[in-house]
Structure 1
């Protein structure tokens, strides 16, 4: 069994979340992982005094239960064994709490195609999950494929990028990936530091027998990445 012994995938019935689940099967097969699929029913924010509580709660819950049912069908078609959990509460809290309870190493979330404005916020649930969990988080854009042929790691020499680099190196080693190491300098005077950052990651990766390509660019980091 690989490093990703337990994976948590969150679904809400959207095409992007179901696509992420479909792609997670590839990783689970490669790693011999156990997959738990969670769908978190958000709290009702309307006026309970104006409606039948039981009916509205069931109506809210129904699409999330349907998403889990669809997940089970997908898993059966792929001959995958999964565990499904229907939780209630704030979505990010349900995902983070279950990942901790299940001792999952990795959380996988889907992301729909977004406008430039939406990309600024990435998706509140995704941002909150990343900000509140100690687990690794993989965000799978809609229609993206998890092939692991090439992995791009952006580094700025910070402690956080060092952790990310080590994770990328580990994945590249296990999957036979080419590692592309990128550092983005905002100004001309930052270029030497950017080169130093990529050289450090390259040195570590090559010691592990990984094929490495390096890139140094100038501009706005998130746009270049």
Structure 2
């Protein structure tokens, strides 16, 4: 089922695609979202190359650019059939993320929509350097869509750690839920080696597992979300987990059959500050559903 209401203010969105099966989810959901929101869609594909390679094998680069044009024209045709205004953009160069960020700013896009490459094992913990860089440098929100994911804005998980970055994610999640009539599930995770989910109503029985101070803090964070959501007429369930944050968020999303996880970005730039320690990165790498990364103002 497609969302009946536009989930958030999206006048313009930038879709990135390479024509692979891993981009299909992003293409499909971008067109669907653009149709629902009456948004203009910009479809971008970047041929990764460098000056030395272009000089040695210009015919190969030219062939790649022609293939890229075909991919983009196909996206435009699909969008047109749905009544979506789509403008295509082809670029080539050494750093795809720079072109993605540049084109998003040029288009004044409210959102960037990207696919996620299929990975196994430890590699799934890494979202990919280009995705990390886009999230680090982009000024707008970024939606990451796995190939099989459908974003219907019906069941949304939002994670909070009490920072201003997660506050922005909470605000966006509540706003989307209000517009779309979504079921909202709020989670705060107390880091530990074991993972045990408890409804906040029953937290008092489990003080022996996680420290009282940390559990109280997490409990308050979730209660704040519930209070905020209820003021907006959004029914919300709140949970505190003990465990590895990214595992807990993924676990709850599966349990609640979420079609979207909303998280904040800690405003970092460059790949060096977005490595394996990033909860957001691991959630993106492992989630079966789409992940919306909200940028704090």
**Alignment TM-score, normalising by the size of structure 2:** 0.71
SS at match of 2:125: helix
Distance 1:218 1:52, change over 3 A: closer
1:214 to 230, 238, 241: 238
Secondary structure of 1:113's partner?
coil
1:81 aligns with 2:54: no
Deviation track 1:118-171 (CA, whole Å, cap 9, x = no partner) reads 222111111110001111001011100011101100101011100111111111
Greater RCO (Cα-Cα under 8 Å, separation 6 or more) = 2
Aligned to 1:40: 46
Q: Please tell me whether the aligned partners of residues 44 and 57 of structure 1 are also in contact (alpha carbons under 8 angstroms).
A: no
Distance (whole Å) between structure 1 residues aligned to residue 61 and residue 22 of structure 2: 24
1:177 corresponds to which residue? 182
More moved, 145-154 vs 110-119: 110-119
Q: 1:132 aligns with which of 130, 137, 146?
A: 137
Q: How far apart are the structure 2 equivalents of 1:219 and 1:63?
A: 46
1:46 deviates by 6.3
Distance 2:87 2:131 in 1: 22
2:160–2:186: 8 Å Cα contact kept in structure 1?
yes
Gaps of 5+ in 2: 1-5, 193-209, 250-297
1:17 positional shift: 1.4
What residue in structure 2 maps to residue 150 of structure 1?
155
Q: Which moved more, 1:97-106 or 1:184-193?
A: 184-193
Corresponding residue pairs, total: 223
CA distance in 2 between partners of 1:200 and 1:48 (Å):
55
Residues 1:167 and 2:172 are matched in the alignment: yes
Deviation at 1:87, TM superposition (A): 1.5
Q: Distance in 2 between matches of 1:32 and 1:82?
A: 11
SS in 2 for 1:104: coil
Query: What residue ranges of structure 1 are gaps of 5+ in the alignment?
Result: none
Deviation above 3 Å: which 4+ runs of structure 1? 44-49
Instruction: Report what 2:247 is aligned to.
Output: 223
The verdict on how the C-alpha distance between 1:221 and 1:59 changes in structure 2, with shifts beyond 3 A counting, is same
Match of 2:287 in 1: none
